[in-house]
Structure 1
Amino acid sequence: MKKVLIALDYDPTAEKVAETGYALAKTMNADVILMHVISNMEYYTSTVYTPVMGYGDFGNAGLTKVYSADDLKKETQNYLDKSKEHLGDDSIQTIIAEGESADAILSVAEEIRADVIVMGSHSRRWLDKILVGSVTEKVLHKTKIPLFVIPTRG
């Protein structure tokens, strides 16, 4: 195992996913790649949840956050850089992908020839899983690359 791809969302539990995936990679002396997929601009305009910061924004209820595509990419890179800094390893690579999350993760994993994909699973509602399905579940069903799933119930 030479490359570990760690897919992060903006959920507050992403720190646990990054730390656990990083520890796994280091036990195998593998390179680490952190990635995030920008999939739906509407998701990033919520006043209830600020995905870029990873916490609810209750102080500005009623205001809508609007990110341009360029601003969102800059914020996402900042998020990945902070995650990299938290892990304390300058050799970590970062990737920002766009598109449907599961497909983008699988595409990047194949492109970089990842040996394992690390993801968190934090489905909170059974109805969401039935109606929408989780990104982790979609990756699990489509991947030919080993998948390390970290339960993160927030």
Structure 2
Amino acid sequence: MKKILIALDNNADAKKVAETGYALSEALHAHTTLMHVTPGSAFYASLNYSPIAGFDSFSNLDIVQAGSVEELKITAEKYLDNVKLSLGDETIETVVKEGGYAENILQTAKEMKADMIVMGTHSRKGLDKVLLGSVAENVLHHTTIPLFIIPVKSPEEK
């Protein structure tokens, strides 16, 4: 294994995914790439980023109110830079894409010739799964490379 792609969302448990994925990458002496996908519009389901990234919450809604996809991308880049800083490895690369989550994760893994994808899953069930879908499940069904899935729960689910 030479390259590992760690896909992060803006969930509070992203810290667990980042740290576990990075530990795996270190153990395998692989190069790490952190990835975040923003939606293709300025609507964002959550304005909260993990405290590990330095964004406890956005009290200044100007970031989203401006309606700029570019502003979301800049915010995501800062988020990944803070995750990278918290992991303490300057060699980590970061990638921000916009649009479909699973599609972008799969495409990025293919482009970088990743040997493994690491991501979290919220293990939603029932109506939540039907309405929200499962990015991890979609990636699992369409990937041709190993997928390391880390189960995470939102604070409401714990």
Taking structure 1 as the reference length, what is the TM-score of the superposition?
Answer: 0.86
Given that residues 2 and 114 in structure 1 are in contact (C-alpha distance below 8 angstroms), is that contact kept between their aligned partners in structure 2? yes
* Cα distance change on mapping 1:64 and 1:97 into 2, 3 Å: closer
Given that residues 35 and 80 in structure 2 are in contact (C-alpha distance below 8 angstroms), is that contact kept between their aligned partners in structure 1? yes
Aligned match of 1:68:
68
SS in 1 for 2:76: helix
How far is 1:130 from its partner?
2.5
Aligned match of 1:84:
84
Aligned match of 1:151:
151
Query: Partners of 1:153 and 1:90 in 2: how far apart?
Result: 29
Amino acid in the other structure paired with 2:87 = L
Aligned pair count? 149
Q: Deviations over 1:21-73 (max 9, x none)?
A: 000000000000000111243542x5xx314466666x789x99424122111
Query: Partners of 1:135 and 1:55 in 2: how far apart?
Result: 24
1:17 aligns with 2:17: yes
* Cα distance change on mapping 1:60 and 1:96 into 2, 3 Å: closer
Query: Partners of 1:56 and 1:78 in 2: how far apart?
Result: 14
1:50 aligns with 2:67: no
Q: Deviations over 1:100-136 (max 9, x none)?
A: 1101000000000000000000134421213342100
Q: CA RMSD in A?
A: 2.3
Which consecutive residues of structure 1, in runs of 5 or more, have no partner in the other structure?
A: none
Given that residues 52 and 76 in structure 1 are in contact (C-alpha distance below 8 angstroms), is that contact kept between their aligned partners in structure 2? no
Taking structure 2 as the reference length, what is the TM-score of the superposition?
Answer: 0.84
Aligned match of 1:38:
38
Aligned match of 2:100:
100
Aligned match of 2:109:
109
* Cα distance change on mapping 1:25 and 1:101 into 2, 3 Å: same
How far is 1:93 from its partner?
0.2
Which consecutive residues of structure 2, in runs of 5 or more, have no partner in the other structure?
A: none
